[in-house]
Amino acid sequence: MDNYQILKVDVQERIALLTINRPEAMNALNSLFFDEMEDFLTKLPDQPDIRLLIITGEGKAFVAGADIAEMADMTQSEGLAFSKRGQTVFRMIEELEIPVIAAVNGFALGGGCELAMSCDIRVASAKAKFGQPEVNLGLTPGYAGTQRLSRLVGKGDAMLMLLSGDHISADEALRIGLVQWVTEPEELMDKVVDLAKKIVSKGPLAVKKVKKAVRAGLESTFEKGCDLESQEFSSLFEGEGKEGMKAFLEKRPPKW
């Protein structure tokens, strides 16, 4: 998983750090990025030792958007295919069994904001900027930005971002619920890695099942979500949960 031109992959302590490394273009998303990301995500489930994925960007940007230079000469049918490709790859991120944290180090605009939203948790540098500026180009978001943003922050704040095309600060993103933490720039990766290590220390099956239940519940009815939660809860009584409860009672660390 390391023979890529744009992506850099580093795996340590059961955590994969994926860096988008195209700083000369502010990490803009092009067709090669989607090729490499799809390849990485397809192979990731075959790496059972990896229990969490962190996504970040090299240089001053997380991702400054889709590659406008590539899009400018596309036909309508090519634009449709480019949109669907991005939606498919970002859905793959969302549907990973393991948690995904976006470490947003700088500009997360357009496709970059959409990429961050496909992750489970977003931690931002105080210098980060978020936005969906597509209307400034006479376009709409193409990678499910109109769908995920409204689900994450509510209709009003989503409409404000989408219709104005304005950038918002990391603090404003925190206020509306787009990000979960804001850190000083020099502390970003340390904070994210500490969080990743904390999550990785928990019951690995339980972590996967929590993510599954939350995602399925958001895309279903409350009743169906509760049914799935009960099934996932009870399924752990014959393995990981049994060990966890026993370890608690015996006042010792669990053996996952």
Catalytic residues: 114, 134
187/123 Cα distance (integer angstroms)? 11
Q: Which two tokens stand for residue 183?
A: 């850190």
Q: Which residue is listed with tokens 């219709």?
A: 163
Q: How far is CA 234 from the centre of its chain?
A: 28
Question: What backbone phi and psi angles, to 5 degrees, belong to 72?
Answer: -55, -35
Q: Which two tokens stand for residue 117?
A: 């939203």
Q: Which two tokens stand for residue 113?
A: 């904001």
What is the DSSP code (8-state) at residue 120? Answer: S
Q: Which residue is listed with tokens 């489970």?
A: 120
Q: Which two tokens stand for residue 66?
A: 């889709």
SS3 5: coil
18 beta partners: 9, 55
SS3 151: helix
- The CA radius of gyration of the chain, in Å to the nearest whole number, is 19
186/126 Cα distance (integer angstroms)? 10
Q: Which residue is listed with tokens 């787009």?
A: 178
DSSP codes joined into one string, 69-94? HHHTT--HHHHHHHHHHHHHHHHHHH
